[in-house]
A and B are shown apart, each in its own frame.
Chain A
Amino acid sequence: MREELFVSGRNIPNIDPYLNIWHWQIPIYLFLGGLAAGILFLAGIYTILGKEKEMQATVKWAPFIVPFALIFGLFMLFLDLKHKLYFWQLYTTIRLQSPMGWGAWVLMIITPISLLWSATYLREVFPKWDWKFKFLYTFEAWAIKNRKLIAWPMVIYAVILGIYTGILLSAFNARPLWNTALLGPLFLVSGMSTGAATIMLISKNHEEKKIIGRLDLLFIIIELFFITHMIMGSLAGSQVQIDAISILIGGQFTVSFWVFVVLLGLVFPAVLETMELMGFRIPTIIPVLLVLFGGLIFRFIMVEAGQITRYLY
C-alpha cells in the first residue's frame, strides 16, 4: 500500500476559498471614515474660500461630529483586531506597501487635526468653557488666526482618508470584486455625499442647505457614474472579474444592492433633493437619512460580497 500525502492550498479556513475575516465592524468604520472625510473636506474648502460666515454649519458645527466619528471608527477597528493589545505596533512600523499602514498613519494625522479644528470653535458653542492654562489660550488664539493654514492639510488629508477607505479594499489583489482602481474614488465620493447629507441635517440656514444640497446631488450623480463604470469595467474584464461583479447583477447581493443602495440610497434621495431645489417642500431629514442609510448598506455589501468573490483556479 502506498500512502500519499496531499498538500493543498485550497483549504485555509477563513481565507481560502472565501475570506471570512471582516465582519460588521469594518463597514461601520469605512462609513464613519468616509463621513468624517466628507465633512472635513467641505469645512476646509469653505474656510479656504472665506465663506465661514455663510456656511456656519459646514465650517463650524458639523465638524464637531468628526472627532467622535473617527474615534468610534477607530474603536471599531480595534474591536476587529484578533490581538487587540498589539494595536500600537501599527504605529511603530512604516511600510509603504501596506494600505493598512497608510490608513493607520492618515488617521493618526487627521484625528488630531479634526480635534484641533473643533477646539478652535469650542468656545463659540460653550462660551463658559475654560481652557485652564494660559498656554492653551495662546495656542487657541494662534489656531483661530491660522484656520486657513490648518484647513489646507485638513482638506488634503480628508481626501486621502476618503480614498483610503476604498483603497483598503481595492489593494486586495486576491478579491476580484474589490480589485478595481475605481473603488478609491467611489468610496471618496460616497463619503463626500454622506458628509454633505449630515451637514444638511445640521444646517438651519436655507441658503447653506441649498448649496450643500446641490453639492450632494452632484456627488450622487458622480457616484452613480462610478458604480456604472465599476460594473462595466468588470464586465469588460477577465472571467474572474465577470464572475465577481455578477454577485451584484444577478447574484446573491443583487436585490440588496439595487434596492437599498442604488434606488433608495442614491436615486430616490437625488429625486427628492432635485424637487427640493425646484421649490417643493421636502423634510430634509428624509433624503438625508436615505443617503446615510444607502452609504452604510453600500459598505456592508461591498465588504461582505468582496470577501466571497475569488480567483478561479
Chain B
Amino acid sequence: MEKLKRDGSFYINPYLGGVILGLVLFSTYYITGRGLGASGAVKSSVVTVVDAVAPMHAEQGKYYSKFLSADSSPMNNWLVFEVLGVLAGGFLSGAIYGRLKIKVEHSPKITSKTRLIAALAGGILFGVGSQFARGCTSGAALSGMAVLSASGIITMIAIFGSAYLFSWFFKKLWI
C-alpha cells in the first residue's frame, strides 16, 4: 500500500474528493462569507497588470474600472490568496503521493506542443467565457449551487453540457 501510494498512481476516490471539496466550500462560506473561486484571481491579476501598464486605459475601461479603487489594490482579494493556497496544497499533495514531476499529459497520438496550444486556447476561451458568465466552475457553478442559486445550476449545466458535446470533437487530444 505504501509503495502504491508513493509512485504517483494513487488518486483520491472522486466521491470522497467531492465530499471534501463540499466541506471546503462550506467552511469557506463560514470563514470568509463568500464561496470559492478561481477565475477571479486571474481577473485580479489581469486588472492589476493593465492598471500598472496603462492606468488611463484601465480607468476608462468599463470592465477594468469596476475592479479598481483608490485605496485598495485588486490583488487585495480573498480569491488571490485562495489560489496561492491551492498551489501550495496541490504541491503538498503531489509531494506526498510522489507526483512531483514536470510533464505534459496528452494522448500518444499528438505531441506535447499540440496539447499545450490546445490547453492555452481552451484556457483563454474559458477565461473569457467565465467573465461573460460572471464566474467560472468554482465561483459561479459550485459556489452558486451551494446556495441554491438558479444561475449556479444553469452555469453547471452549461459548462458540463457543452463540455460533453465538445469533447466529441476534441477527444483526440486525450485518447
A residues within 8 Å of B by Cβ? Answer: 255, 259, 264, 268, 271-272, 275, 280-283, 286
Contacts of A283 in B (CB 8 A): 100
Contact B100 A255 (CB under 8 A): no
Q: How far is the CA of A283 from the CA of B91 in the complex (A)?
A: 11
Contact A281 B95 (CB under 8 A): yes
Contact B81 A280 (CB under 8 A): no
Chain B proximity of A249: nearest CB distance (Å): 17
Contact B96 A275 (CB under 8 A): yes
Contact A272 B95 (CB under 8 A): yes
Chain A proximity of B145: nearest CB distance (Å): 29
Q: How far is the CA of A268 from the CA of B95 in the complex (A)?
A: 13
Q: Which 4 A-B pairs have the closest CB atoms?
A: A282-B95, A280-B95, A268-B88, A259-B81
Q: How far is the CA of A283 from the CA of B96 in the complex (A)?
A: 13
Contact A281 B100 (CB under 8 A): yes
Closest to B76 in A: A255
Chain A proximity of B86: nearest CB distance (Å): 13
B residues within 8 Å of A by Cβ? Answer: 6, 76, 81, 84, 88, 91-92, 95-96, 98, 100
Q: How far is the CA of A280 from the CA of B92 in the complex (A)?
A: 10
Q: How far is the CA of A199 from the CA of B49 in the complex (A)?
A: 34
Chain B proximity of A254: nearest CB distance (Å): 11
Q: How far is the CA of A281 from the CA of B100 in the complex (A)?
A: 8
Q: How far is the CA of A283 from the CA of B6 in the complex (A)?
A: 15
- Given A255-B76, A282-B100, A283-B100, A275-B95 contact (CB < 8 Å): yes
Contacts of A281 in B (CB 8 A): 95, 98, 100
Contacts of B6 in A (CB 8 A): 280
Q: How far is the CA of A281 from the CA of B96 in the complex (A)?
A: 8
Q: How far is the CA of A268 from the CA of B85 in the complex (A)?
A: 10
Chain A proximity of B52: nearest CB distance (Å): 16
Q: How far is the CA of A259 from the CA of B98 in the complex (A)?
A: 26
- Given A281-B100, A282-B100, A259-B95 contact (CB < 8 Å): no
Contacts of A264 in B (CB 8 A): 84, 88
Q: How far is the CA of A22 from the CA of B55 in the complex (A)?
A: 26
Q: How far is the CA of A194 from the CA of B91 in the complex (A)?
A: 22
Closest to A276 in B: B95
Q: How far is the CA of A268 from the CA of B98 in the complex (A)?
A: 18
Q: How far is the CA of A286 from the CA of B90 in the complex (A)?
A: 13
- Given A271-B92, A281-B95, A259-B100 contact (CB < 8 Å): no
Chain B proximity of A251: nearest CB distance (Å): 14
Q: How far is the CA of A205 from the CA of B5 in the complex (A)?
A: 27
List 12 A-B residue pairs with CB atoms under 8 Å apart, sorted by A's residue number. A255-B76, A259-B81, A259-B84, A264-B84, A268-B88, A271-B92, A280-B96, A280-B98, A281-B95, A282-B95, A283-B100, A286-B91
Q: How far is the CA of A282 from the CA of B101 in the complex (A)?
A: 10
Contacts of A259 in B (CB 8 A): 81, 84
Chain A proximity of B87: nearest CB distance (Å): 10
Q: How far is the CA of A282 from the CA of B84 in the complex (A)?
A: 18
Chain B proximity of A152: nearest CB distance (Å): 40
Contacts of A286 in B (CB 8 A): 91
Q: How far is the CA of A244 from the CA of B6 in the complex (A)?
A: 47
Q: How far is the CA of A264 from the CA of B88 in the complex (A)?
A: 8
